[in-house]
A = this chain, B = another copy of it.
Amino acid sequence: MKTPCNLIDGRAIAAQVLESLRPRLDRLRARGVQPGLVFVRVGEDPASRVYVERKEKTAAELGIRSLTHVLPESASEESLLALLDRLNADAAWHGILVQAPLPRHIRAERVYAAIRPDKDVDGFHPMNMGRLLIGDLGGFIPCTPAGIQELLVRAGLSWEGAHVVILGRGNIVGKPLAALLCQKAPRANATVTLCHSGTRDLPEHCRRADILVAALGVPEYVKAFMVRPGAVVVDVGVSRVPDPTRPGATRLVGDVAFAEVQPVAGWITPNPGGVGPMTIAMLMQNTVRAAEQLTA
């Protein structure tokens, strides 16, 4: 059994990405521009609160101004759209992020489509998703797919020519990641198979992967027998499950049964400490770019 020297350290690589933004932030500051990133949260979903807090903390460390609007759980879709209208028009904010998940009575697609595409640093506006699909680099790429791409490149691995099997077809990770990696472009050019709840014989698809990306949100779904020895395994999902060692407590687990998969994998991302920090780093990168473009 291998020692876990095959870990891809997402925290260290995210720190490199953030460091690479400092000269760009310095140049903006020299022009009197402080990038601004505004968050909107609806209700008190605990995970949403934690995610926004982490993003705000990283923004503060970089000198990116941020502010969070919190609407009550009962807020109407119209009131959220009215707030977005104001933020769209406010030149102090270069990036706008509405934190998922939203309450059920609010249509997420309508909300994402209401953010100005050039401030849509989450990349979920249909214009940005469409530009991603057609390979137009002018749009914003969703942060988790962009972070997964960057993570492996900086770890010295290559997407080029690899057979990438993605588990999960969500709008936040699976589908935009497939669109990103299939492009005829540097850091991409992969052969992508997108698997999901409707896939027959999913383990067999998994075993064919050079790079397996698990973004299902099913705790510890990927077992060792589903991984080709030497394959790269990227664990995106995060679920909260009861902690068997502490009665009444919970712990976070990924979509990969880490203990058994790690010895089989060529490389593997820990979870937490893998993809999560990269998502935040790419959000900062998108925000810096938005500020550059909006003040050019």
B residues less than 8 Å from A192 (CB atoms) = 193-194
B residues less than 8 Å from A175 (CB atoms) = 133-134, 179, 182
Tallying the copies of this chain within the complex gives 2
Stretch at the interface among A26-34, A72-80, A123-131, A253-261: A123-131
CA–CA, A212 and B194, complex, Å: 15
CA–CA, A125 and B131, complex, Å: 9
Stretch at the interface among A15-23, A197-205, A222-230: A197-205
Q: Is A196 at the interface (CB under 8 A from chain B)?
A: yes
Q: Please list 6 pairs of residues, one from A and one from B, whose beta carbons are closer than 8 Å in the complex, sorted by A's number.
A: A130-B130, A134-B171, A161-B200, A182-B194, A191-B194, A191-B196
Contact A130 B125 (CB under 8 A): yes
Contact A182 B161 (CB under 8 A): no
Q: Is A136 at the interface (CB under 8 A from chain B)?
A: yes
CA–CA, A136 and B112, complex, Å: 12
Contact B191 A191 (CB under 8 A): no
Contact B184 A197 (CB under 8 A): yes
CA–CA, A198 and B188, complex, Å: 10
CA–CA, A124 and B184, complex, Å: 18
Shortest distance between the CB of A31 and any CB in chain B (Å): 29
Interchain CB contact (< 8 A) of A127 among B126, B169, B189, B205:
B126
